[in-house]
């Protein structure tokens, strides 16, 4: 047997809760009703006993014994009417004529029985189903015993049973009605809950089949709306990743095709004897191999960083050592007549980072600035403490980056200026590598390029990795 679905389980749980709650309420109602009814019967018996005790006392005072009280018991109204002395004591009202009453004298001989069954007989034991009350005189002397039939021992038992039976029947009907109401509400609620879940489930199946563009309409309760929104976000990211993967594979093929074609063409030319095997030709081939090797290494670095497998060996690095390692770049900028300025916050003396990775970040950013700065321009490097980070910024006063390219500037193989060649514009991986290495250190990287004000790349390293003096 297949398990109940979510809708069935919700409906079954609601019905179960409703039936249990109603049943418990019904049981408690029956218990309280029977208890209250029993209390009422007991109070009625007590009141009847008190009134007949007064009647018996008055009768005993008048006659000296209880003989003949049977007549009063059978027809109280007539007996009271014929005896003026008793009428005053009875107050024109006698209780108990609706229930069986038995009166016995001090010798336990029955002197009155409303049913006439035990009249004149001796009571050897207590009468079953009847409550026993002593009859006392004014001198507080016992003059007899009064027996009053309880509800179960007299004709009232049928009234009680009918009363309780009616209540029980009504409670059962109420439980059935509540169960049907719970069934209706359960189906309604289950449909309201499972409808958006069903849409999400169907969308997940479509997603599993590779249809990454699928989306669901967020509706229903707040949690279901949030779930649908999260699904749409996940689907959008998967689609974006798939598009990036395809574009990445296409870019890799495109980037590898050029140097491989050059290598193949030159090697075939050497093989066919069209080119002489000279040192210049060999150097050209080595340059293409080096470019291929650098490309593969860059791709490997990005892949390791994005997968979280990039090894980061942090150690204290003196800030002055970082500046010293930038000397080759400074010399290259001097040859291109580009001024290079470095400004360091006096409080920052050293930073905990991977020296090679940190230098690679700075070299990539500075090389990128150099490619976009004309002769006579300026590039600056600033290092300062900002809040909980140390902030590195590389600024150039070059042509800047168009605003529409800023969001994609850190993507792999992305070039803001497509007119630049691979020799002058790089392979489009420098900034992507810089971002991966910064994030591997736990920092963040971004770029600002106001129109006409050059470009500034910023990256941070958390303050926990900074040593300040």
267 and 328 part of one domain: no
Collect all residues with Cβ–Cβ distance below 8 Å to 261 and sequence separation of at least 6: none
Q: Is residue 188 part of a domain?
A: no
What's the domain range around 128?
Answer: 6-157
CATH number of the domain encompassing residue 339: 3.30.565.10
pLDDT at 447 over 90: yes
pTM of the model: 0.49
Per-residue pLDDT band at 426 (split at 50, 70, 90): low
pLDDT at 331 over 50: yes
Per-residue pLDDT band at 97 (split at 50, 70, 90): very low
265 and 331 part of one domain: no
Tally of domains within the chain: 3
- In the prediction, which pLDDT does 427 show? 60
335 and 464 part of one domain: yes
Q: Looking at 289, 307, 325, which one is the last position of a domain?
A: 307
3-state secondary structure of 324: helix
How far, in whole angstroms, is CA 10 from its chain's centroid?
A: 17
Cite the beta strand spans of 137-275 per DSSP E. Answer: 142-149
Q: Is residue 173 part of a domain?
A: no
- In the prediction, which pLDDT does 401 show? 86
* Pick from 54, 58, 148, 133: nearest CA to 97: 148
17 and 141 part of one domain: yes
Do the beta carbons of residue 357 and residue 435 sit within 8 Å?
no
Query: Regarding predicted confidence, which is higher, 468 or 371?
Result: 371
Q: Is residue 168 part of a domain?
A: no
Q: For residues 245 and 12, give the distance between their C-alpha atoms in angstroms, rounded to a whole number.
A: 47
Q: Looking at 307, 335, 369, which one is the last position of a domain?
A: 307
pLDDT at 76 over 60: no
410 and 461 part of one domain: yes
359 and 390 part of one domain: yes
Q: For residues 72 and 90, give the distance between their C-alpha atoms in angstroms, rounded to a whole number.
A: 11
300 and 323 part of one domain: no
40 and 147 part of one domain: yes
287 and 327 part of one domain: no
Q: For residues 457 and 393, give the distance between their C-alpha atoms in angstroms, rounded to a whole number.
A: 6
Q: For residues 446 and 364, give the distance between their C-alpha atoms in angstroms, rounded to a whole number.
A: 14
Buried b (16+ CB within 10 A) or exposed e, 166-195: ebeeebeeebeebbeebeeebeeebeebbe
Q: Is residue 389 part of a domain?
A: yes
pLDDT at 281 over 80: no
- In the prediction, which pLDDT does 150 show? 64
- In the prediction, which pLDDT does 465 show? 43
pLDDT at 320 over 50: yes
What is the arithmetic mean of pLDDT over 143-148? 87
Q: Is residue 97 part of a domain?
A: yes
Q: Looking at 307, 328, 352, which one is the last position of a domain?
A: 307
Q: What is the pLDDT of residues 163-205, one digit of tens each?
A: 777 877 887 888 788 778 877 877 777 777 777 778 888 888 8
Mean per-residue pLDDT over the chain, rounded: 78
Q: What is the pLDDT of residues 352-409, one digit of tens each?
A: 888 888 998 999 899 889 988 888 899 999 999 888 788 999 999 988 888 888 888 8
290 and 334 part of one domain: no
273 and 332 part of one domain: no
Q: Is residue 246 part of a domain?
A: yes
Q: Is residue 269 part of a domain?
A: yes
116 and 65 part of one domain: yes
- In the prediction, which pLDDT does 341 show? 92
3-state secondary structure of 460: strand
Q: For residues 203 and 390, give the distance between their C-alpha atoms in angstroms, rounded to a whole number.
A: 45
Q: Is residue 181 part of a domain?
A: no
CATH number of the domain encompassing residue 226: 1.10.287.130
Collect all residues with Cβ–Cβ distance below 8 Å to 307 and sequence separation of at least 6: none
């Amino acid at each position: 047997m297949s398990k109940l679905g979510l809708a069935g389980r919700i409906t079954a749980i609601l019905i179960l809760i409703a039936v249990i709650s109603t049943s418990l309420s019904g049981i408690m109602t029956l218990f309280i009703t029977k208890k209250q009814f029993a209390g009422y019967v007991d109070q009625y018996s007590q009141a009847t006993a008190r009134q007949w005790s007064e009647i018996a006392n008055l009768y005993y005072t008048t006659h000296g014994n209880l003989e003949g009280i049977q007549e009063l018991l059978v027809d109280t109204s007539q007996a009271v009417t014929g005896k003026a002395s008793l009428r005053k004591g009875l107050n024109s009202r006698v209780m108990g004529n609706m229930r069986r009453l038995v009166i016995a004298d001090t010798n336990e001989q029955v002197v009155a029985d409303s049913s006439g069954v035990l009249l004149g007989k001796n009571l050897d034991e207590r009468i079953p189903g009847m409550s026993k009350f002593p009859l006392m005189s004014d001198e507080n002397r016992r003059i007899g015993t009064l027996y009053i039939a309880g509800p179960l021992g007299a004709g009232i038992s049928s009234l009680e049973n009918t009363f309780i039976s009616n209540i029980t029947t009504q409670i059962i009907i109420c439980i059935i009605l509540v169960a049907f109401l719970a069934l209706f509400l359960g189906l309604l609620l289950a449909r309201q809950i499972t409808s958006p879940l069903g849409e999400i489930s169907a969308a997940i199946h479509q997603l599993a089949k590779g249809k990454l563009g699928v989306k669901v309409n967020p509706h229903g309760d707040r949690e279901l709306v949030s779930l649908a929104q999260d699904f749409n976000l996940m689907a959008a990211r998967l689609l974006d990743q798939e598009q990036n993967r395809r574009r990445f594979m296409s870019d890799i093929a495109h980037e590898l095709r050029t140097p491989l074609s050059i290598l193949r063409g030159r090697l075939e030319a050497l093989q066919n004897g069209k080119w002489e095997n000279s040192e210049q030709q060999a150097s050209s081939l080595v340059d293409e191999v080096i470019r291929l090797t650098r490309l593969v290494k860059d791709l490997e670095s990005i892949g390791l960083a994005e997968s979280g497998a990039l090894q980061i060996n942090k150690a204290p690095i003196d800030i002055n050592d970082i500046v010293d390692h930038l000397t080759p770049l400074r010399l290259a900028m001097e040859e291109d007549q580009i001024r290079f300025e470095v400004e360091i916050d006096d409080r920052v003396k050293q930073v905990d980072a991977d020296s090679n990775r940190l230098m690679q970040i700075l070299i990539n950013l500075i090389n990128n600035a150099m490619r976009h700065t004309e002769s006579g321009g300026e590039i600056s490097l600033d290092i300062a403490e900002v809040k909980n980070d140390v902030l590195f910024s590389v600024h150039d006063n070059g042509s800047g980056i168009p605003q529409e390219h800023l969001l994609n500037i850190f993507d792999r193989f992305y070039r803001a200026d497509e007119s630049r060649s691979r020799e002058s514009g790089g392979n489009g991986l420098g900034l992507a590598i810089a971002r991966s290495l910064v994030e591997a250190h736990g920092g963040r990287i971004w770029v600002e390029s106001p129109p006409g004000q050059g470009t500034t790349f910023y990256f941070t390293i958390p303050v926990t990795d900074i040593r300040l003096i």
